[in-house]
Amino acid sequence: MASRRYNIKDISLAAKGRQRIDWAFREMPVLGLIRKRFAREKPLAGISFAGCAHITTETANLAITLKAGGAKVTLTASNPLSTDDSVTAALVKEHGMSVYAVKGESVAVYNKSLLDALEARPQLIMDDGGDLISAVLTKRPELAKNVIGAAEETTTGVIRLQNMEREGVLRFPIFAVNSADTKHLFDNRYGTGQSTIDGITRATNILWAGKKVVVCGYGWTGRGIAMRARGMGARVIVIEVEPVRALEAVMEGYEVMPLLEAAKIGDIFITVTGDKKVIDKHHLAVMKDGAIMANSGHFDVEIDIPSLEALSRSKRRIRESVDEYTLKDGRSLYLLGEGRLINLAAAEGHPASVMDMSFANQALCAEYMVKHRGKLAIKVNPVPEEIDKEVARLKLKAMGVAIDKLTAEQKKYLSSWQEGT
Ligand SMILES: NC(=O)c1ccc[n+]([C@@H]2O[C@H](COP(=O)([O-])OP(=O)(O)OC[C@H]3O[C@@H](n4cnc5c(N)ncnc54)[C@H](O)[C@@H]3O)[C@@H](O)[C@H]2O)c1
């Protein structure tokens, strides 16, 4: 058994946490509507829910919504640096939830917290990166039979789960929330785009205008970061390995080149590939004195930190989220947020308005899994289209945006083939 129902930094931060959670909720109207309905209908009555997530004000609002629906909520961090300690205090003190997360915790505590969260014997799981699901399958396999289903929040987690499916180790149904259009088209692009720039700015206070910014990975997050860096006046270089995406970046007006060339000229490097050793010792060897590196991909493996350490003669922390590495050849390179996702390590993650949509998908998927328990395929399932469309409809409504409808004649035309030139 977990020795305590929670492990948080300081419960006296609860009032501050509540204010911050309420502030975020103002920008989460879709989740607000779902919360009202959940409070009435109790679709999750008695369900044990465990979430492995960045414990931010937005995650708190999802957790409160699930509790309103009747769930017993347990949360654990999905990254050692992404927890808001005032939020964990409010969730424990004012909402009676079990929370195991402290900003800056060690990897050992992080891993123990995953196991502590599993003591709740979850029937529903929400994961962000696949660590909690992995912990069930590898460390507490006997719990798998209790699990009605799990929903995965991010690209890296979905890739890990698809690999589990391929290897035949999945034991319960998964919903890939990241794959919903109302998630990745908005959260990954506009959320990561804005909050990554925010994190790097807060960490360094640099001026973006005129800087050469190298964005590694032109997926949904890379598109957002490149777009926002350009908007700040930076000269953006994109690095890709997929020809179609590289071509898209070229036609969008970015410079595209191999990282070994960009390494020599970049001022700021941002990795968002979901891959490992994207910036490795060969790139580190040719970077300019003073180059800054940050990662916004899920794990801290995109920048080869062991190689950076090996090339360095000393390292010191010069600002809260800035480590200066002095290399043996005399150059200084700067690593932000220990190579962990910078938008959460040095800022607050995505703005609430975009998490409104991601977490509306999470809440509706939780309800869907309970409603269809026992009938869901044990594989990585897409978010049902009706949920995706409903989230978009509600968000437009909340934003006061009306759209047109197809006429009966247009519907017929679009589903026929007979009419032509
Ligand atoms: N920081 C955040 O808040 C946040 C939010 C959403 C997603 N993520 C994470 O960001 C990462 C990227 O997510 P995404 O949705 O953009 O994924 P994506 O699959 O859409 O894009 C990743 C891109 O990186 C490219 N790539 C892979 N290896 C590369 C390499 N060695 N060099 C250059 N390019 C390479 C791929 O070809 C692909 O185009 C994932 O780890 C995801 O979990 C973080």
Rounded CA gap, 198 and 80, in Å?
Answer: 19
245 lines ligand 1 (CB under 6 A): yes
pLDDT for residue 3 is more than 60: no
For 329-391, the DSSP string reads: TS-EEEEEGGGS-HHHHTS--S-HHHHHHHHHHHHHHHHHHHHTTTSS-SSEEEPPHHHHHHH
Query: 74-110 pLDDT, tens per residue?
Result: 999 999 999 999 999 999 999 999 999 999 999 999 9
- Of 298, 343, 354, the one to substitute when testing ligand 1's pocket (max ligand atoms within 8 A of C-beta) is 298
Would you say 236 and 255 are in contact if contact means Cβ atoms under 8 Å apart? yes
Would you say 87 and 57 are in contact if contact means Cβ atoms under 8 Å apart? yes
Query: 169-183 pLDDT, tens per residue?
Result: 999 999 999 999 999
CA of residue 339 to ligand 1 center, whole Å: 15
352-391 burial, b at 16+ Cβ within 10 Å, e below that, comes to bbbbbbbbbbbbbbbbbbbeeeeebeeebbebbeebbebb
**pLDDT mean across residues, the chain:** 97
Q: Which atom of ligand 1 sits closest to the CA of residue 274?
A: 41
Query: 24-56 pLDDT, tens per residue?
Result: 999 999 999 999 999 999 999 999 999 999 999
Once rounded to an integer, what is the mean pLDDT over residues 391-401? 97
Nearest to 348, CA basis, from 198, 222, 201, 126: 198
Burial class (CB in 10 A: 0-12, 13-18, 19+), 182: buried
- Rg of the chain over Cα atoms, rounded to whole angstroms, equals 22
154 lines ligand 1 (CB under 6 A): yes
- Of 52, 54, 154, the one to substitute when testing ligand 1's pocket (max ligand atoms within 8 A of C-beta) is 154
Confidence of residue 1 (pLDDT cuts 50, 70, 90): very low
- Of 183, 221, 237, the one to substitute when testing ligand 1's pocket (max ligand atoms within 8 A of C-beta) is 221
pLDDT for residue 4 is more than 80: no
Overall pTM > 0.85: yes
Q: Which atom of ligand 1 sits closest to the CA of residue 302?
A: 31
Share of the chain above pLDDT 70, in %: 99
pLDDT for residue 2 is more than 50: no
Burial class (CB in 10 A: 0-12, 13-18, 19+), 308: buried
* Residue 421 pLDDT: 84
Confidence of residue 73 (pLDDT cuts 50, 70, 90): very high
Q: Which atom of ligand 1 sits closest to the CA of residue 342?
A: 1
